[in-house]
Copies of this chain bind each other. A is one copy, B any other.
Amino acid sequence: MAACNSSSICSSIRSPERIRHIHRPLSLISSSNVCLLRRDALSVSAGRMVACFASKDWALPRIAAGSAPAMVPAQQEAEARVSTVVEVGLGNRSYPIYIGSGLLDVPDLLQRHVAGKRVLVVTNTSIAPLYLERVVEALTNGNSNISVDSVILPDGEKYKNMETMMQVFDKAIKSRMDRRCTFVALGGGVIGDLCGFAAATYVRGVNFIQIPTTLMAQVDSSVGGKTGINHPHAKNMIGAFYQPQCVLIDTDTLNTLPDRELASGIAEIVKYGLIRDADFFEWQEKNMHALLARDPNALAYAIKRSCENKAEVVSLDEKESGLRATLNLGHTFGHAIEAGFGYGQWLHGEAVAAGMVMAVEMSYRLGWIDGTIVERVLNILKQAKLPTSPPEMMTVELFKAAMAVDKKVADGVLRLILLKGPIGGCVFTADFDQKALDDTLLAFCRR
């Protein structure tokens, strides 16, 4: 396994005809000086199988199919010094995902993506005391032209609604934000989705930066431009596809994340393995203890590989005409749990975990996967202390009512993401035996 240096071009490309794999020093993709980054080394990659490191003093294995870092001390030390940039390739709407430790303290990373002079930071009551001041400092440091306002929203999924979004608009208008302003989402998935939707619709669209502070947001919701809010009867029912200017992931923010939130994010990491990345799933099986112990290298690797998977899928199918739907494994069941149980009762990843178990069970009932996969999924989710069945109050009727208005319904027909074949394979289909769905719902609602 050869390491590559900063001047080499790595090109392990899964879908060469459509995805842009960019692999070059950051200085080539930005006019800003790469030295402003406090990390020693940078890599820029798109897709899932490429990683490069610039320093000549050490070498990390290139991460490719069948390989994963073994987390030995020397490599841990090296990786701790690395910032990774994953590029989401969407033509003239492409953008970088910066991943690294201490990135909140790198003013130029944020400032290069602020187009106008006015910034509105949207955050919540839990995150504001921890990081708002640092983000405002990073936005304004050395740049007296930029004025920053902020709006601090209540924390939780139950506030991801139109009423809360109006608070953002009220503040934006009061602060005289104009069409050249930038909205910055500082927080978890709720803040990112809501702020992104506000940015998409304020004066018909303003600049937008994502600073995800939860594992859930870092590995999934901040990447790919899905924004939106909940309707009382259906999750994420109102929204827009709207891409950010950049996603800035400071992995240090995970230090303040409650255990339950950490586990919630792990559910989405497991998802990537199941739907398209068997090697990553195997790595997770071996390293779940490290993730739960918040080993920074393990977390950084899981975030990077998750973002690479997501970036590749989004580049191929931004508006979810097909492939992108596979990122919703377990989500149809999960969204039903969130809406039925009440938004915020369970975290999103908790509902998705239970939903994935149901989708896996249904796949097994259809004869599409063998029993060992069911066991491995149950095991890894239990290890992460995630739920493996829906809350007791969920009935077949509640599931069916919510699933009838799922966004993946087309012309009245429900389509589901189900596993098929070995781990890493899945299908998005309406072509399944309805009895398998009914039996699955019955089985889980009896428990």
A116 at the B interface (CB under 8 A): yes
**Are B117 and A204 closer than 8 Å at their CB atoms?**
no
With contact pairs A410-B180, A411-B178 given, residues A237 and B173 touching in the complex (Cβ less than 8 Å): yes
Cα–Cα, bound, A427→B364 (Å): 66
**Are A204 and B411 closer than 8 Å at their CB atoms?**
no
A169 at the B interface (CB under 8 A): yes
**Are A205 and B409 closer than 8 Å at their CB atoms?**
no
Cα–Cα, bound, A240→B200 (Å): 7
A408: chain B residues within 8 A (beta carbon):
179
A234 at the B interface (CB under 8 A): yes
A80 at the B interface (CB under 8 A): no
**Are A412 and B176 closer than 8 Å at their CB atoms?**
yes
Partner of A176, one of B162, B200, B404: B404
Cα–Cα, bound, A319→B206 (Å): 12
**Are A407 and B201 closer than 8 Å at their CB atoms?**
no
A404: chain B residues within 8 A (beta carbon):
176
Partner of A202, one of B237, B410, B412: B237
A20 at the B interface (CB under 8 A): no
State the Cβ distance, A343 to closest chain B Cβ, in Å. 15
Cα–Cα, bound, A118→B201 (Å): 26
Interface-central residue, A179, A204, A226, A412, by most chain B CB under 10 Å: A204
Cα–Cα, bound, A169→B200 (Å): 18
**Are B239 and A180 closer than 8 Å at their CB atoms?**
no
A180: chain B residues within 8 A (beta carbon):
410-411
Residues of chain A whose beta carbon lies under 8 Å from any beta carbon of chain B: 116-118, 162, 166, 169-170, 173, 176, 178-180, 197, 200-205, 226, 228, 231, 233-234, 237-241, 319, 404-405, 407-412
A204: chain B residues within 8 A (beta carbon):
226, 228, 239-241, 407
A241: chain B residues within 8 A (beta carbon):
204-205
Partner of A169, one of B118, B226, B237: B237
The list of the 10 closest CB pairs from A to B, nearest first, reads: A178-B409, A180-B410, A203-B407, A117-B411, A204-B239, A201-B238, A116-B411, A180-B411, A173-B233, A173-B405
A410: chain B residues within 8 A (beta carbon):
116, 178-180
A170: chain B residues within 8 A (beta carbon):
231
Interface-central residue, A170, A173, A408, by most chain B CB under 10 Å: A173
Copies in the complex: 2
A202: chain B residues within 8 A (beta carbon):
237-238
State the Cβ distance, A224 to closest chain B Cβ, in Å. 12
Cα–Cα, bound, A404→B174 (Å): 10
Cα–Cα, bound, A170→B238 (Å): 11
Measured CB to CB, the nearest residue on chain B to A410 is B180
A116: chain B residues within 8 A (beta carbon):
410-411
**Are A240 and B201 closer than 8 Å at their CB atoms?**
yes
Cα–Cα, bound, A241→B170 (Å): 21
**Are B179 and A118 closer than 8 Å at their CB atoms?**
no
**Are B162 and A405 closer than 8 Å at their CB atoms?**
no
With contact pairs A179-B410, A239-B204 given, residues A173 and B117 touching in the complex (Cβ less than 8 Å): no
Cα–Cα, bound, A178→B403 (Å): 11
Cα–Cα, bound, A142→B207 (Å): 47
Cα–Cα, bound, A180→B411 (Å): 6
Measured CB to CB, the nearest residue on chain B to A407 is B203
A166: chain B residues within 8 A (beta carbon):
162
Cα–Cα, bound, A319→B319 (Å): 19
Cα–Cα, bound, A317→B285 (Å): 52
State the Cβ distance, A411 to closest chain B Cβ, in Å. 5
